[in-house]
Each structure stands twice: as C-alpha cells, then as structure tokens.
Amino acid sequence: MIFKRIISKKKNSRSFFIKKNKKKVFYKYNVIINPGNPLFLKMKTLFKLLFLILLSSKIYAQHPAATIPDFSFYKLDKTVFTNKNIQPGKLSLIIFFDASCDHCQHAMETYNQHYKELSKTAIYLVTVDNPASINYFMTKYANNLYGSKNVTILQDFKNEFITKFGPRKYPSMFLYSPQKKLLIYDDEPKNVGNFLQKIKENTKK
C-alpha cells in the first residue's frame, strides 16, 4: 500500500491516507501545484471523495522513528541518496513536506528567516512532489536555503518515508543527533522555534 496526502474539504489538508492505485499516485507527480490549474482542481475533487479513508487509516498510530532508518531516496539529479549518505558528525534536520500545504509553507518561511542559524546543520527536505513544484516552493518560501551546501532536496519515488519515519502529518519535522538518534519531532509550524532552540543547544561552536 502507498500512503498519499489527501486533499479534503479543508483547504491544504495535512493528513495522509492509504492508497493502492499506483498509477494515480504517479499521475499526481505530473501536476504542478497551481490552484488555478484545471487538472489540479480535478485531482482535488477526486481526493475529496476519498476523505472517509482517513477513518480507517493507520497513520495516526505511527510513532516517529527513534533513529534514522534505512532509506533510499533520490536527489533532483536522479542520483540515489541513502541513509549512508547522511553527513556524519552533524545534526540532521529532516522535513517531510508537500508544496501545496500552507502549513509547510509557513514552516519553511520561518526556517528560511533563520538560515544563518542552520548553517552547521545538515538539512534534508523530502517530498513526493515533482521538480517544478519543488522549485516553486523553494523559490517562494525558502530562497535563502535553496541551493545552500547544507541543504539536500530528496524525492521519495518509492513512497517509503511514511512507513519508515512514521510522520503524522505535513510538515513532519525530525531533528536527529550526530549519532542519528531522535532529539525532537513535531508537525506544527508554530513550534519551529523549538527546533531552532534545540539546534542552538546542540551545535558546536
């Protein structure tokens, strides 16, 4: 089964649901996030009909991964990036986001404002969105972080992030120690400050 985000009656829903039809999953990859895009609107209507799936979803029973699990994602240049590529000796801030999620946008705007404080932290931004949507998202909401040496953008082509990391909703934010142990998890943009404080406390000067 593949988890995907559901676009429910509530604008920019941040929840996930279980989906079996892989063709429709990959079909979404080709839809650039644009509220005025007719194709996007059709997809939004389709996902509304699947709202009840939330009732049977197991996502709410998940727990954030206590340590960084084995994974296999892809960088924008299509090269494979696994847990073995995590930068050693550094804090790892891993954020699972969706370009159309307004909560993700707000969270990234806050991180973007504090980009200097994050310079010694390895940041991994993971998404199932396509490159065009990612570029739009990063350019508009995280331009200071976009292209930075400590920021790596990853695509989850195999839809394994949810089952392995155990996020609850967008944006799912994980801060791991250099020993790859979870220091803090949250999915509320208003709590980004807690991550900045924890990073400050654990960053070597």
Q: What is the pLDDT of residues 5-21, one digit of tens each?
A: 443 434 455 665 434 34
Report pLDDT for 40: 57
- pLDDT reported for residue 203: 86
**Residue 52 has what pLDDT?**
37
Beta bridge partners of 152: 124
DSSP state letters, the chain:
-EEEE---SSTT---EEEE--HHHHHHHHTS---TT-HHHHHHHHHHHTTGGGGGG-SGGG----SBPPP-EEEETTS-EEEGGGSPTTS-EEEEE--TT-HHHHHHHHHHHHTGGGGTTSEEEEEESS-HHHHHHHHHHH-TTTTT-TTEEEEE-TT--HHHHH---SSSEEEEE-TTSBEEEEE--GGGHHHHHHHHHHH---
Name residue 103's amino acid: H
Q: At what angle do helices 192-202 and 102-113 cross, to 10 degrees?
A: 40
Distance, CA of 69 to CA of 120 (rounded, Å): 22
User: According to the model, what pLDDT value does residue 57 have?
Assistant: 53
Report pLDDT for 62. 75
Rg (CA), the chain: 16
Angle 60-187-175 from CA coordinates, rounded to 5°: 110
Tokens coding 80: 């494979």
Distance, in Å, from the CA atom of 199 to the CA atom of 162, rounded to the nearest integer, reads 24
pTM value is 0.75
CB neighbour class for 151 (10 Å; exposed up to 12, middle 13-18, buried from 19): buried
**Amino acid at residue number 23:** K
Q: 127 with 99: CB under 8 angstroms?
A: yes
All domains of the chain, ordered by start, with CATH? 2-60 (no CATH), 61-202 (3.40.30.10)
pLDDT, position 23: 38
* Low-confidence residues of the chain: pLDDT under 70: 1-61, 204-205
Rounded CA-CA distance 164/149 in Å is 26
Residue 204 token pair: 């070597």
